[in-house]
Structure 1
Amino acid sequence: MFELKLDNARYWRDCIEAIVSLVDEGLFTITKEGIGLKAMDPSGISMISFFMPSKAFATYEIDKVMSIGLNLDNLSKIMARTRDDEALVMKDTDSKIALEFVGEKSRRRYKLQLIDVKKSVEKEPNVEFDANIEIDGEHLKNALKDATLISSYISFKASKGQFAINAKGDSGELEELHEIDGGRIKKVDVTKDASSVFNLEFLENMVKSTPTGNAINLSLKSDQPLKMSYNIGDANVTYFLAPYVEE
């Protein structure tokens, strides 16, 4: 059995939003270190790796390592009903997970049926990246929105001290070139120039749950999967996205 409590239920809501942006069901593993999930999206183009350490919880009690399968669409709908002043207590009970929202003078309890979910991925892609970029999350969101006016795909290119974002389509082109400024672009570490093209729809889904004011870390290697990661409080969300290969 397990019992987990978060003083702010919105914390878990935000984490679930980040996960459900790619997958609609998932297998969570609960250990003494924390709760994690690794899953591929149905198309096999992208992967998510999520981990929230035990220290993030006000209460964290487990008697053994457990794996629980959940319908994330249903869970996200429940979490969307979170109110500002509520804590969240999660327990396993009779092949269900109980989600209890605790306010100052109120309690609400949902029970969500556990489901059988096959583990779709064991480990993350093993890539030695040539470039690492730290970029303001809101700026990257805006750059992706700009690119959608032009194309369904976007190019990231990193060279020494510079990061370029490009999109090209039938209606025109977009070019953005950034140097380290300590604000929008916080870091560009490059051992070798790197560039790849990626699907914009997937990227927009990946970044939409980034908390305001947070940085996003991008890791690139030419024609290899993109690694994108950011934190939600103490939790970490990492995505991998395969590059677009023109047929």
Structure 2
Amino acid sequence: MFEAKLVQGGVLRRLLESIKDLVTEANWDCSSTGITLQAMDSSHVSLVSMLLRAEGFDPFRCDRNLTLGMNLTSMTKVLKCAGGDDMITIRAEEGGDVVNFLFESPNGERVCDYEMKLMNIDQEHLGIPDTDHDSVVKMPSSEFQRICRDLSQIGDSVEISCSKEGVRFFVSGDLGSGSITLKQNATIDKDEGKQVNITMNEPVSLTFALRYLNFFTKATPLANHVTLSMSKDVPLVVEYLMGDMGHIRFYLAPKIEEDDMATQADDS
């Protein structure tokens, strides 16, 4: 038997909104410690990794490890039936082929029960190694969302460069180029919601597809801050921490520039 109740059901809706355009179906792996999800987008360019801790639910019950294969488009449709303040309970029986969603209004006067068919999804679970990244930037998530949105008007790719001076986002396209630089400002008297904090072992400059970064920023309502972790030749990690509830992380491989490809061809 699996049962998990979210008092703030809106968190689940926002979580789903942040990943449904990247991933259409995924396994929700349930255990006594919580719920995890890991899935790649259809083009295998980006990866989504999510953790919802058992402590974030009240109650949370998982008698045995259980995998719930769900179509995220269908799940989104079901969750849209929940009110903004509703409590959401997810229930599933071991060996069953359906999952139940129970929506309760705060005063308990309205209760909705929906049943959704489960899927058998063959997904490879990737082991993601812990990496000490060369540069880590923590910044307001709303600022990151705005930067990605604004720069995508100019071009398709953004070069993110970290140095002691700050973090620079540069884009170049047919109509011209643009850059936005944020300087470190994590001082004690600075409003924490507006702080930019950079931890750097060595400077990094990598290029990424803005299309995917804009998908990632749909998680902005889940957290006030976002953390960008970068190292040369490894995927960018975009992390949103949801307090004690857990986190959602997006991984995106850097784009190989044409000059680099030409160099590699010469070397071979």
Q: Does the Cα contact within 8 Å between 2:145 and 2:220 map onto a contact in 1? A: no
Q: Given the two structures, how large is their TM-score scaled by the length of structure 1? A: 0.94
Offset at residue 5 of structure 1 (A): 0.8
Cα distance in 2 for partners of 1:81, 1:14 equals 14
RMSD, aligned CA: 1.6
Q: Is 1:121 the equivalent of 2:132?
A: no
**Matched-pair contact (CA < 8 Å) for 2:27–2:121:** yes
Identity of aligned residues (%): 24
Secondary structure at the counterpart of residue 157 of structure 1: strand
TM-score by length of 2: 0.87
Match for residue 75 of structure 2? 75
Q: What CA deviation, in whole Å up to 9, does each residue of 1:40-97 have, x standing for no partner?
A: 1111100011000000001101111111100011101221232123111111144100
2:46, 2:38 → 1: CA distance?
11
In the TM superposition, residue 19 of structure 1 has moved relative to its aligned partner by 2.6
CA positional deviation for 1:213: 6.3
The structure with more radius of gyration: 2
Whether contact under 8 Å (2:228, 2:238) holds in the other structure is yes
Q: Which segments of 5 or more consecutive residues in structure 1 lack a partner in the other structure?
A: none
2:35 corresponds in structure 1 to 35
Out of 189, 214, 217, which is 1:207 matched to?
217
Kindly provide the amino acid, as one letter, of the partner of residue 158 in structure 2.
Answer: I
- Structure having the higher helix fraction is 2
1:122 offset after TM fit, Å?
Answer: 2.4
Residue 2, structure 1, aligned to residue 2, structure 2: yes
CA contact (8 A) 1:37 1:51 kept: yes
2:206 corresponding residue in structure 1: 196
- Compute the displacement of 1:161 (Å): 4.3
Pairwise CA distance, 1:102: 1.0
Q: Secondary structure at the match of 1:73?
A: helix
Change (3 A) 1:87 1:136: same
Structure 2 residue runs of 5 or longer lacking an equivalent are 187-192, 259-268
Which letter does structure 2 place at the counterpart of 1:189? T
- State whether structure 2 residue 140 is matched by structure 1 residue 130: no
Task: Please give the alpha-carbon distance, in whole angstroms, between the structure 2 residues aligned to 1:186 and 1:26.
Answer: 34
1:156 equivalent to 2:160? Answer: yes
1:240 paired with 2:251, answer: yes
